[in-house]
Chains A and B, each alone.
Chain A
Amino acid sequence: DSGVTQTPKHLITATGQRVTLRCSPRSGDLSVYWYQQSLDQGLQFLIQYYNGEERAKGNILERFSAQQFPDLHSELNLSSLELGDSALYFCASSIGLAGRGQFFGPGTRLTVL
């Protein structure tokens, strides 16, 4: 157990819908990262927050957004869902800003029908 928690574990929804994925980092970690894992793209970095502020952005679609709250938990919002958004979404956390020692949560499996 990495100490990073994610909910829900599974999510099934329809195209055009909006979903919210939630992540709680390990105790003491200030950075939260979101990654997408799909069969054809592998593990791709989406976005990083550090102590409530966005710090790095990857190949995140405009339909996707995230935030980190004062208690340091984070949410990833996915809207106008398409079939191709079906993937595993992982949250990771680390103590600092530089990304050393990232520990991953168990992931949320999103299925868009």
Chain B
Amino acid sequence: GESVGLHLPTLSVQEGDNSIINCAYSNSASDYFIWYKQESGKGPQFIIDIRSNMDKRQGQRVTVLLNKTVKHLSLQIAATQPGDSAVYFCAENISGGTSYGKLTFGQGTILTVHP
């Protein structure tokens, strides 16, 4: 039968280029955001997080930008390497209330880095 699944956005880049992965989050009450990288057959790997009182945070080769006005999050990867090829997920969280630690994940973006 026909397979049904999520159709993930894809991004293809050349090794050494900078990559930008975008995410539109759903809840204006969300105040904490995380980016994860998931390689085939593995669990999501924490990359970087940001709280809503910030609009930018930098890590090693990665930068996360948060635009609360339009509910948009982006992950920038500098000098992308073949080992960066994976599915990238953004996730949001609302502190307080009854949600506690629940993360709501985006659908993911497939990043392919060509040597």
Q: Taking beta carbons and an 8 Å cutoff, which residues of A are in contact with B?
A: 2, 4, 31, 33, 35, 39-45, 48, 50, 55-56, 58, 90, 92, 94, 96-107
Contact = CB atoms under 8 A, between A and B. Distances in A.
Contacts of A107: 42-43
B9 interface: no
Interface of B: 3-6, 32, 34, 36, 42-46, 49, 89, 91, 93, 95, 98-108
B89 A43 contact: yes
A56 B107 contact: no
22 contacts: A2-B46, A39-B3, A39-B5, A42-B107, A43-B44, A43-B91, A44-B105, A48-B102, A50-B100, A56-B98, A56-B99, A56-B100, A56-B101, A56-B102, A58-B102, A90-B44, A98-B100, A99-B95, A99-B101, A100-B32, A102-B34, A102-B101
A104 B6 contact: no
Contacts of B45: 2, 104
B1 to A, nearest CB: 12
B43 A98 contact: no
Contact of A40 (B6, B34, B49, B106): B6
A42 B3 contact: no
Contacts of A102: 34, 46, 101, 103
Contact of A39 (B6, B98, B99, B103): B6
Contacts of B36: 104
